[in-house]
């Protein structure tokens, strides 16, 4: 059977139905990127229509590669965080989006080189087990926080306040609020729908219902639409690559030569480390969630998925979108039982199908009360990795704790990863246990320190 030869379903103790269900679940929980990524990149001057098509193409291309080349149930798409850095973090430098896409391509090329040299996997396998499991915990809580905020269960403490109340003594700059977040409006229909959705998903997971997350999302969306909490699409289908969805305005417009200057080094360094660490954290996080790590806590044959994200990163820049890589939302599909590349291929096929239904998809992706509870539920499932952190050894616990809290409270995965990787060798040396360090952990610590000193952390 072709699927057996390609994906080795029997070896991974899975079935075609389970893989397709897992891939569909992953698509549902990450399809918001179709709307969100173009909206963010529009602040960099990239046209919204072509950017939507480029986002879909990058997700489909990367997920197909992941399925066929790496045989992993991990979808690939433009990263949240990196897109914000490209759109907002570089705004003060006054460079055009063509140069920013050039930086994306160069960072992807650098990924490919160090992956071929096996430096990337060497670095990945040098991280302690406690730190690796802290990646999973941090990412799980990060996803939960996204879900809570997107659904309105938690909101900014300044929501609804007059702008004048945040002005610094008559200055033009807004001051930081004393309390960053607060509970949302629990009487809001959207918040009530989200709470209902989380309860439904949780109960389905408790009873081990196959497709529980996907089913919960669907039920919540239908109820919300019937209750009038959703808007009808302006159209059902539209042809991609034409009219407002033509790629001509952004494809092959990247400026690589302009980025090869010493003054651009901080940009390249920041994008390189963010992409490297996001992919590493995601692979380890979803690997831990799906019991894919070996007895040493390493991700087997990690070079393959890493090469996939490197190639996809370069492809993304060529078609006109931001840094792409392995997506943490893949944990939703893995929790549904997905174990092979067939799940990633399913996700890719659904992305390709969405090219023709962009007008239909756009309003659906505004139903935050439907997909938000799925992110919260995945966080609940991933936080269990905290049991594998060594709480009796402060040289392991403190870096792990820093990873988790910095990831969640700075709203950036890369910040948490770098903080933990810098602190790990520092604490080992201070404790007089430097012999427990390996060369890879020292190199990673120094690279992450460079990120804070010379990069552009945000």
What angle do the packed helices 129-151 and 265-289 form, to 10 degrees?
Answer: 100
User: What is the length of the chain?
Assistant: 458
pLDDT tens-digit series, residues 55-65:
999 999 999 99
Q: Dihedral sign, CA of 145, 151, 157, 159?
A: positive
Question: Mean of the per-residue pLDDT values for the chain?
Answer: 87
φ, ψ dihedrals at 259, nearest 5°: -85, -10
Domains of the chain: which residue ranges?
10-161+172-454
- Residue 359: name the closest of 34, 29, 45, 80 by CA: 34
pLDDT tens-digit series, residues 262-310:
778 778 877 887 787 778 878 877 887 777 777 777 788 888 999 999 9
54 within 8 A of 33, measured Cβ to Cβ: no
Distance of alpha carbon 96 from alpha carbon 88, whole angstroms: 12
φ, ψ dihedrals at 237, nearest 5°: -140, 160
User: Which residues does 456 contact at the CB level (< 8 Å), separation at least 6?
Assistant: 85, 89, 90, 266, 267, 270
Distance of alpha carbon 307 from alpha carbon 120, whole angstroms: 10
pLDDT tens-digit series, residues 332-383:
898 888 999 999 999 999 999 999 988 877 666 568 898 889 889 888 888 9
Higher pLDDT, 235 or 368: 368
pLDDT tens-digit series, residues 51-99:
999 999 999 999 999 999 999 999 999 987 678 778 876 766 778 999 9
As a whole number, mean pLDDT of residues 205-216 equals: 82
Which residue carries 């004048």 as its tokens? 164
pLDDT tens-digit series, residues 121-137:
788 778 888 998 898 88
Three-state DSSP class for 272? Answer: helix
109 pLDDT above the threshold of 80 = yes
pLDDT of residue 335: 83
Tokens of 294: 């070996």
pLDDT of residue 398: 97
Higher pLDDT, 301 or 21: 21
Higher pLDDT, 449 or 280: 449
Rounded percentage of the chain residues whose pLDDT exceeds 70? 94
As a whole number, mean pLDDT of residues 39-51 equals: 87
Confidence bin at 168 (pLDDT 50/70/90): low
Distance of alpha carbon 351 from alpha carbon 61, whole angstroms: 9
- Identify the H or E element spanning 182: strand 181-183
Between the alpha carbon of residue 328 and those of residues 33, 194, 432, the distances in Å are: 12, 21, 36
Distance of alpha carbon 415 from alpha carbon 410, whole angstroms: 7
As a whole number, mean pLDDT of residues 392-407 equals: 95
As a whole number, mean pLDDT of residues 393-420 equals: 90
């Amino acid at each position: 059977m072709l699927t057996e030869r390609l994906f080795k379903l029997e070896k991974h103790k899975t079935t075609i139905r389970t893989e397709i269900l897992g891939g569909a679940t992953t698509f549902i929980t990450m399809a918001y990127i179709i709307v969100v990524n173009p909206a963010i990149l529009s602040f960099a001057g990239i046209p919204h229509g072509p950017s939507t098509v480029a986002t879909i193409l990058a997700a489909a291309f990367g997920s197909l590669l992941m399925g066929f080349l790496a045989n992993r149930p991990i979808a690939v798409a433009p990263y949240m965080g990196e897109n914000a850095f490209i759109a907002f973090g570089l705004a003060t430098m006054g460079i055009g989006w063509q140069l920013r896409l050039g930086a994306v391509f160069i960072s992807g090329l650098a990924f490919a080189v160090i992956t071929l040299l096996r430096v990337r996997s060497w670095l990945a396998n040098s991280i302690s087990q406690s730190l690796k499991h802290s990646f999973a915990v941090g990412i799980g809580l990060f996803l939960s926080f996204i879900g809570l905020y997107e659904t309105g269960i938690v909101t900014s403490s300044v929501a609804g306040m007059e702008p004048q109340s945040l002005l610094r003594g008559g200055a033009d700059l807004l001051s930081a609020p004393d309390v960053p977040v607060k509970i949302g409006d629990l009487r809001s229909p959207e918040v009530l729908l989200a709470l209902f959705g989380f309860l439904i998903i949780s109960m389905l997971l408790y009873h081990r219902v196959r497709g529980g997350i996907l089913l919960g999302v669907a039920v919540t969306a239908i109820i919300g639409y019937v209750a009038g909490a959703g808007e009808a699409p302006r159209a059902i289908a539209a042809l991609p690559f034409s009219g407002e969805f033509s790629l001509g305005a952004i494809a092959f417009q990247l400026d690589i030569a302009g980025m090869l200057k010493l003054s651009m080094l901080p940009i390249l360094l920041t994008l390189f480390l963010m992409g490297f660490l996001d992919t590493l954290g995601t692979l380890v996080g979803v690997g831990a969630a799906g019991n894919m790590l070996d007895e040493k806590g390493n991700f087997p044959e990690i070079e393959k998925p890493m090469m996939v994200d490197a190639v996809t990163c370069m492809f993304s820049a060529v078609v006109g979108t931001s840094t792409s890589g392995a997506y943490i939302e893949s944990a939703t599909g893995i929790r549904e039982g997905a174990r092979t590349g067939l799940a990633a291929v399913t996700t890719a096929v659904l992305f390709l199908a969405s090219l023709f239904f962009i007008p239909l998809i756009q309003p659906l992706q505004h139903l935050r009360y439907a997909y938000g509870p799925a992110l919260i539920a995945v966080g609940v499932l991933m936080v269990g990795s905290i049991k594998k952190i060594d709480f009796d050894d402060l040289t392991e616990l403190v870096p792990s704790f820093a990873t988790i809290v910095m990831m969640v409270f700075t709203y950036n995965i890369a910040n948490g990863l770098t903080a933990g990787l810098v602190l790990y060798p520092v604490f080992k040396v201070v404790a007089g246990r430097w012999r427990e360090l390996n060369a890879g952990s020292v190199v990673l610590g120094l690279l992450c320190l460079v990120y804070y000193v010379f990069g552009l952390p945000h």
